[in-house]
Structure 1
Amino acid sequence: MGLPDTPAEADPGPAAVLATFRQGFYRCLTGRADALFELTDAVLCTDGPVHSLVDLSLAAEHRRGHGALYDGLNSGRIDIDRLRTTLAGLPLPRTAGGRIVLAVDVSNWLRPDASTSADRLFCHVYGRAKGQAQMIPGWPYSFVAALEPGRTSWTAILDVVRLGPTDDATAVTADQLRDVVNRLVEAGHWRDGDPEILIAADTGYDITRLAFVLADLPVQLLGRIRTDRVLRQPKPPRLPGSTGRPPKHGPEFRLDNPLTWPAPQHHTTTDTSRYGTADACSWDRLRPRLTRRTCWIDHDGDLPVIEGTLIRLQVEHLPGDRDPKPVWLWCSATGASAADVDRWWQSFLRRFDLEHTFRLFKQTLGWTRPKLRTPEAADRWTWLIIAAHTQLRLARPLAADLRRPWERPTTPGRLTPARVRRGFRNLRAKTTLPAGAPKPARPGPGRPPGSTNHRPAPRHDVGKTVKRDLSITARKQRGG
């Protein structure tokens, strides 16, 4: 459950907010609560990166054996809806204008050798060299996080959903974003008159479809589009005396053909410390060309006309690249000013802060380290990692800088999540500890010596199990 609204003079301090979240998180654990809670504390307090689950059972904060650890992940229960509401009720970062900026992205838990694990999909993974992308079996997870202003490695994770073999990624993402926005509204983070929530996404999402489905929410969708896309300009005014059917769209706007570009409505130049000079051009009321494929194949009636603002961002240089290509962005809002355009592309660059969170999850907190068999256990472990990361974020103003001799000193407010984690063991002793003490028990006898397993685990295929028709004609013929 979310934190109640309190007057400014009674605003709880960081220590009280952290203690309240730990109590709320413990109440969300409805099965094997003590084992799951102490497992989360072991992730936060162990020295160095997490390499395996069994090593966490040796931490002082985990007072149970390794059997209880695996039993909690395999047989425990978490009230996910309650935990989502608890996360939505926590303080959220905002931009200078008080706007909430959300980012949605997918991170993969690769399991190429787990033939007995169900619900695996082929995940797109970039190689180290150009053109070395691969498709590796794994579990893709869709994360939604609130972004902070300025360059930082902190984000506020609000939700996660695992994409299954029968899921439509666009439909699942739309439902996920709708639920997150509704929870933020119920928690009081957005009220009538506040700036609309900005949602940033990368090229893997059909940003036009998301804008159409979420049009009834107080949100603006911002996403990167491919450089070979074709958009349409607004239809020209009909001249007197014209005959024939009026056109539905205006001339084409091809991103790879500058001859089709009209004069931009806005052109701004910004000096940045990391990318040099950034030039942004924008065109208003441009509509992407829609086709009856993928997410639009089941749309009834004529395809809608969805207008937005197109932005072309060209920076002077990137780290390791002196001749970067331009980035094309499309926002669902129209009638934007030059200040809005600059705010949009700067917010899109902040979306990459979520990559730092994914790196922390995998390399430090050990999100993808366990060799769990069932996707349900993987979901429980994922939510425990999110709860651990949330506690690091809440402990950020409380942690001391326990730096290594070769590291530069920094102020407490600028500590990275990994450096906050170094001092969490000291903070844990001063906050609430709701988990009960373990009861003495003896380990089970296990499998008798010399016996074999007569019930091998079933093997599961990888990939989509529901195939959709590629054209509207094929769908009609199949339905008839």
Structure 2
Amino acid sequence: MLCHTYGRGKDQHIMVPGWPYSVVVALETGRHSWTAPLDAVRLAPGDDAASVTARQIRDVVDRLIRAGQWHPGDPEILLVADAGYDGPRLAHMLADLPIIVLVRMRSDRVLRRPAPAPSPGTMGRPRRHGDEFAFGDPDTWGEPDITIETTTRLYGPALIRAWDRLHPRLTHRIAWAGHDGNLPILEGTVIRLQVERLPSGAIPKPVWLWHSHTSLPHTEVDLAWQAFLRRFDIEHTFRMLKQTLGWTTPKLRSPDAADRWTWLLLTAYTQLRLARELTADLRRPWEKPRPSQRLSPSRIRRGFRNLRPQLASPARVPKPSRPGPGRPAGTPNHQPAPHHDVHTVTSPNRQKPSHNKKTKPSNPQPRKPG
């Protein structure tokens, strides 16, 4: 598929052919860049990201329960995702699991308040949706239910405001096209995080979060925005896999080889994570000293070379051998490498424009409902 990659400069984002993966990691508390990869699934052309993610999360949670990592009565599992995931839909698909969904929403979203009670003597069908709550229009916000003012180490003063019982207005289109009956009302809590500065020096933009639970107390709102900031630890894991362990270095020709290589790197990363308290810190002269429990993945990998010879290996000593003769010169290759066409995601209901009919231009600034 064509995968979106981020460039370093302005407007340097390009699309490159590759195999996209959906990765689930466990986050830890504290200031570090470690994560625990739990599962990785390759997305096929035409797959729905929300459906694949729901099946993946369900499988991971079932394995955690069977392994005894979660018991009835324990706190619910907090699922934190970025804006590329449909949070209300994930919460609806995973409603039978002990999961709390916390996702970031685009800043142009428009949600709805609860429908008001019908007035006495009103005829007709009662309203299902209340007034609009537009993220880009402060006049529609009203007074927040919870307000928190705090100071963070990296971002400076932070203002957190939360509004209870907001839901998107769903329609029988795209993901909900085959839904029978009335569409559900997926209420949640909207949290707006505004900070004063960013570590990179860029102008900070407000972050909008959607929490799948309603009537949150002050402590849960304070925990939600901090948990979302911990989500950025997964970016350090991807950087480690790509730049240090060489996830994208080999030019693999088949998706099966990509799956094997991905799981091999996740296994190697897990070995480094398990060796966090066993390796010594081989720091560079310009690096600051750190305690053993605060070493980064790259510094653990640097000291792993002294630990590996002391570990037992289940493999035997390799026997000396010579390379084979290979294919004789002049003989053609009768088993060419497989070729995979690059698929682009297009709308199945897209119609080709007719040259005989005049088409009406679309609205240059569409408003995204729901």
Q: Name the CA shift for 1:386/1:259 in 2 (closer, same or farther; >3 Å).
A: same
Q: Which residue of the partner structure matches residue 436 of structure 1?
A: 316
Structure ranking higher on relative contact order (CA contacts 8 Å, 6+ apart): 1
Go from structure 1 to structure 2 and tell me whether the alpha carbon gap of 1:132 and 1:440 turns closer, same or farther (over 3 Å shift): closer
Aligned to 2:72: 192
Task: Quote the Cα distance in structure 1 between the aligned partners of 2:212 and 2:35.
Answer: 24
Instruction: Please list every run of 5 or more consecutive structure 2 residues that lacks an aligned counterpart in the other structure.
Output: 352-370
Per-residue deviation, residues 350-376 of structure 1 (Å, max 9, x unmatched): 000000010010111111111121111
Question: Is 1:176 the equivalent of 2:56?
Answer: yes
Q: In structure 2, do the counterparts of structure 1 residues 338 and 353 end up closer, same or farther at CA, with 3 Å as the change threshold?
A: same
Could you tell me how far apart the structure 1 residues matched to 2:46 and 2:321 are?
43
Matched, 1:271 2:140: no
In 2: Cα distance, 1:374 partner to 1:151 partner? 38
Counterpart in the other structure of 2:126: 246
Question: In the TM superposition, what is the alpha-carbon distance from 1:341 to its structure 2 partner?
Answer: 0.8
**Aligned-pair distance for 1:236?**
1.3
Partner of 1:228: 108
CA distance in 2, matches of 1:435, 1:294: 52
Is contact 2:253–2:337 with CA below 8 Å preserved after alignment? no
Deviation at 1:468, TM superposition (A): 3.5
For 1:288, what is the secondary structure of its paired residue? coil
- TM-score, L = length of structure 2: 0.90
Counterpart among 16, 29, 37 of residue 136 in structure 1: 16
Q: Does 1:448 align with 2:359?
A: no
Equivalent residue number for residue 333 of structure 1: 213
* Unpaired runs of at least 5, structure 1: 1-120, 472-480
Give the superposition deviation at 1:456: 3.8
Report the AA paired with residue 53 of structure 2.
Answer: T
Deviation of residue 322 (structure 1)? Answer: 5.5
2:43 to 150, 155, 163: 163
What amino acid is the match of 1:254? A
Structure 1 residues 110-132: Cα deviation after superposition (integer angstroms, max 9, x where no partner)? xxxxxxxxxxx111112223333
Richer in helix (by share): 1
Contact kept, 8 Å, 1:293 with 1:470, in 2: the verdict is no
Partner of 1:260: 140
Change (3 A) 1:428 1:457: closer
- State how 1:31-430 maps to structure 2 within 5 Å: 121-321=1-201, 323-430=203-310
Give yes or no for contact 2:129–2:169 (8 Å, CA) kept in 1.
no
The structural deviation recorded for 1:428 is 2.1
SS in 2 for 1:429: helix
Does the CA contact (< 8 Å) of 1:294 and 1:470 recur in 2? no
Q: After TM superposition, give the deviation of residue 320 of structure 1 in Å.
A: 3.1
Displacement, 1:163?
0.6
Query: Which moved further from structure 2: 323-332 or 213-222?
Result: 323-332
Aligned counterpart, 1:20: none
**Cα-to-partner distance string for 1:223-268 (whole Å, 9 max, x where unaligned):** 0111111101011123333332210111111111111112110000
Tell me which residue corresponds to 1:107: none
Aligned partner letter, 1:453: N
Contact 2:26 2:37 (8 Å CA) reproduced: yes
CA distance in structure 1 between the partners assigned to 2:82 and 2:176 by the alignment? 19
- Cα distance change on mapping 1:410 and 1:446 into 2, 3 Å: same
**2:314 partner letter:** P
Deviation at 1:197, TM superposition (A): 0.4
Structure 2: how far apart are the matches of 1:209 and 1:470? 24
Distance of aligned partners of 1:203 and 1:163 in 2 relative to their CA distance in 1, 3 Å threshold: same
Matched residue type, 1:359: R
Q: What's 1:10 paired with?
A: none
State how far apart, in whole Å, the 2-side matches of 1:292 and 1:228 are. Answer: 21
Contact 2:253 2:339 (C-alpha < 8 Å) held by counterparts:
no
The amino acid that maps onto 1:248 is: R
Which letter maps to 1:122?
Answer: L
Inter-CA distance 407–435: structure 2 relative to 1 (3 Å threshold): same
* Partner secondary structure for residue 20 of structure 2: strand
The alignment partner of 2:62 has SS state of helix
Measured in 1, the distance between the counterparts of 2:36 and 2:158 equals 28
Secondary structure of 1:124's match? strand
User: The residue matched to 2:147 in structure 1 has which SS?
Assistant: strand
Q: What is the percent sequence identity of the aligned residues?
A: 61
- Contact 1:200/1:347 (8 A) holds in 2: yes
CA gap of 1:353–1:219, structure 2 versus 1, over 3 A, is same
Question: Per-residue deviation at 1:333?
Answer: 0.9
Change in 2 beyond 3 A, CA 1:371/1:216: same
- Name the amino acid aligned to 1:437: V
- Partners of 1:385 and 1:218 in 2: CA distance: 30
> Structure 1's 292 and 122: CA in aligned 2 closer, same or farther, altered over 3 A?
farther
- Shift in Å at residue 278 of structure 1? 0.9
Q: In 2, are the aligned partners of 1:125 and 1:135 still within 8 Å (CA)?
A: yes
